[in-house]
Amino acid sequence: MPLPTNTWFTEPCEEGGSAFSLRTRRKLHQEQSPYQKIEVYETDSYGNLLVIDGFIMLSSRDNFLYHEMMSHPALFTHPNPRRILIIGGGDCGTLTEVLKHATVEQVTQVDIDERVTRVSEQFFPELCRSNADPRAHLLFEDGVRFVARQQSGCVDVVIVDSTDPIGPGEVLFSQDFYAQCRRLLGADGLLVQQSESPFYHLDSIIKPMYRRVRGAGFVDVLSLQFPQPVYASGWWTCTLACRDMTIGTFREQAVEERTFVTRYYNAAIHRAAMAMPEFMRQGLLAL
């Protein structure tokens, strides 16, 4: 018996001429914060679903793919990641993954919207279980303003876990912002940013990101790919940028000997994620 259409949450993707839908049981929360509209749904098969301004941020069921790939490849590429800055990331899933690394001494997370964190604490407590870790510092302000005030060389890895490049997240995809992030990075420093779908956003987001990151002085840039069922096309990327080294190797031995649990990430996945499909390689190498 088909369910009425009003029990489906649908996110259309204009670039793809496509849409992704999840069957929902009920809406658990809705509010308009000073920055964005925040909604939480209970779905039939993906657990809870966080939606900001109509765009899916995460589901309980598949967020581990994104959060592990936003954190572990960068942290296992840096030789000794101690000081981490997360811009955005208010749901705290990336923060939880970062704090699994014993080398990490301090993580500062700067999200513009405190309400995202408070709503996540209520509806996604599993992502917020490390928020009270003494190494974690949660701040709430615009990431661009924050980085502009920080001393040069004070961070080992910057993780930009932002919304799409629209609304308050748009400035986090600018060359000026990348230049400020580069200034903050110490020797061997790395930036990693979520960079949307290789299938739908290569020309509109990934290519401009490469130009801007290189224009900001980063020596090397590489997109890593991974599956993400709830995002447009189901296929997503994060893009790594190195301040002064080329990307290619990572601390494979340390990955093999890690003492924490991952559900997706391992050394073979890291190597495979760095392999670029031909259409991406052609499009990005020519830049």
Residues marked active site are found at 161
Please report, in angstroms and rounded to a whole number, the separation of the first and last CA atoms in the chain: 52
Report whether 69 contacts 224 (CB < 8 A).
Answer: yes
Q: CA-CA distances (angstroms) from residue 52 to 29, 174, 176, 189, 193?
A: 12, 21, 25, 31, 18
Stretch that binds ligand SAM, among 4-12, 159-167, 206-214, 264-272 (CB under 6 A): 159-167
- Of residues 238 and 251, the one with the C-beta less far from ligand SAM: 238
Stretch that binds ligand SAM, among 24-32, 161-169, 215-223, 272-280 (CB under 6 A): 161-169
d(CA 15, CA 266) in angstroms, rounded, equals 32
- Of residues 194 and 233, the one with the C-beta less far from ligand SAM: 194
Report whether 196 contacts 237 (CB < 8 A).
Answer: yes
From residue 163 to residue 202, the character string flagging contacts with ligand SAM as x (rule: CB under 6 A) and all else as - is x----xx-xx---------------------x--------
Stretch that binds ligand SAM, among 22-30, 160-168, 209-217, 271-279 (CB under 6 A): 160-168
CB of residue 10 to ligand SAM, shortest distance in Å: 16
CB of residue 156 to ligand SAM, shortest distance in Å: 20
Site for ligand SAM in 38-97 (CB under 6 A): 57-58, 66, 87-91
Q: CA-CA distances (angstroms) from residue 267 to 129, 273, 284?
A: 26, 10, 24
- Of residues 168 and 189, the one with the C-beta less far from ligand SAM: 168
Stretch that binds ligand SAM, among 72-80, 104-112, 183-191, 202-210 (CB under 6 A): 104-112
142 sits near ligand SAM (criterion: CB under 6 A): yes
CB of residue 167 to ligand SAM, shortest distance in Å: 7
Q: Which of 110, 213, 216, 232 binds ligand SAM (CB under 6 A)?
A: 110
- Of residues 73 and 88, the one with the C-beta less far from ligand SAM: 88
CB of residue 285 to ligand SAM, shortest distance in Å: 26
**Residues of this chain that bind ligand SAM (CB under 6 A):** 57-58, 66, 87-91, 110-113, 116, 142-144, 161-163, 168-169, 171-172, 194
